[in-house]
Amino acid sequence: MAAFFNAVSAVIVLLLLMSVGYGMGAAGWMTAEHKKFLGKYIINIAVPCNCLVGLLNNLDRDMLDQAGLMVFSNILGVVAALLLGAALATLLKLPRERWGVFVCMVGLSNTLFIGLPLSTQLFGDACVPYVMLYYLANTIFVQSVAVMLVERSGTAGGSGKGPADFVKAVFTKPPILAVIFSTALLVLGLRPPEVVMSFAKYISNSVSPLALIYCGFIVYELGLKNLRFQRGLPVMLVCRLVVAPLICAGLCRLFGIGGLAYQVFVVESALPVVSQVTVMAGTYGADDQYSATGATLSTLGCFLTIPILMVLLG
pLDDT of residue 261: 93
Q: Residue 209: its pLDDT value, please?
A: 87
- Residue 79 parent element (H or E): helix 61-91
Question: Which pLDDT value is given to residue 74?
Answer: 95
Q: How many other C-beta atoms can be found within 10 angstroms of the C-beta atom of residue 188?
A: 8
Give the pLDDT score at 160. 53
Q: Which pLDDT belongs to residue 274?
A: 85
Average pLDDT score over residue span 116-132? 87
The confidence score (pLDDT) of residue 48 equals 87
Tell me what pLDDT residue 161 has. 59
The Cβ-side half-sphere exposure at 99, using a 13 Å CA radius, reads 17
Which residues is 312 bridged to in the sheet?
none
Judge whether 282 and 144 are in contact, CB under 8 Å.
no
Distance CA 237, CA 68 (A): 30
Mean pLDDT of the chain: 85
167 phi, psi to nearest 5 deg: -60, -45
Q: What is the pLDDT of residue 223?
A: 77
Could you tell me if 141 and 78 are in contact, meaning their C-beta atoms sit under 8 angstroms apart? yes
CA distance 308 to 270: 11
CATH topology of domain 2-313: Na+/H+ antiporter like fold (1.20.1530)
Alpha-carbon distance values, 135 to 7, 110, 179, 254, 312 (Å): 22, 9, 10, 20, 23
CA distances from 55 to 52, 65, 126, 133, 269 (A): 6, 14, 9, 10, 20
In this structure, how many other beta carbons lie within 10 angstroms of the beta carbon of residue 95?
12
Percent share of the chain, pLDDT over 90: 32
Section 63-89 average pLDDT: 91
**pTM (whole model) above 0.85:** no
The 10s digit of each residue's pLDDT in 130-167 is 998 898 888 888 877 887 888 888 776 555 556 676 67
Q: Are 275 and 138 in contact (CB under 8 A)?
A: no
What pLDDT shows up at residue 158?
A: 52
Instruction: Give the dihedral of Cα atoms 180, 135, 278, 168; nearest 10 deg.
Output: 20
| b/e burial code for range 133-164 (CB count within 10 A of at least 16 → b) | bbbbbbbbbbbbbbbbbbbebbeeeeeeeeee
Instruction: Kindly indicate the confidence band of residue 215, based on its pLDDT and cuts at 50, 70 and 90.
Output: confident
Q: Does residue 249 or residue 287 have the better pLDDT? A: 249
191 contact partners, CB below 8 Å, separation of at least 6: 56, 185, 197
* Band (264; pLDDT cuts 50, 70, 90): very high
The residues, ordered by sequence, that sit 6+ positions from 237 with a Cβ below 8 Å of its Cβ are: 294, 297, 298, 301
- In the predicted model, is pLDDT for residue 1 greater than 70? no
Backbone angles phi, psi at 296, to 5 degrees: -70, -45
The whole-angstrom separation of Cα 71 and Cα 18 is: 30
Give the residue-averaged pLDDT of 198-218: 86
Residue 233 corresponds to which amino acid? Answer: L
d(CA 267, CA 252): 12
Is residue 273 classed as helix, strand or coil in its secondary structure?
A: strand
Phi and psi torsions of 205, nearest 5°: -65, -15
At residue 85, does pLDDT exceed 90? Answer: yes
- The span from the CA of 56 to the CA of 122, in Å, is 20
Predicted local confidence at residue 231, as pLDDT: 86
Question: What is the pLDDT, as a whole number, of residue 11?
Answer: 81
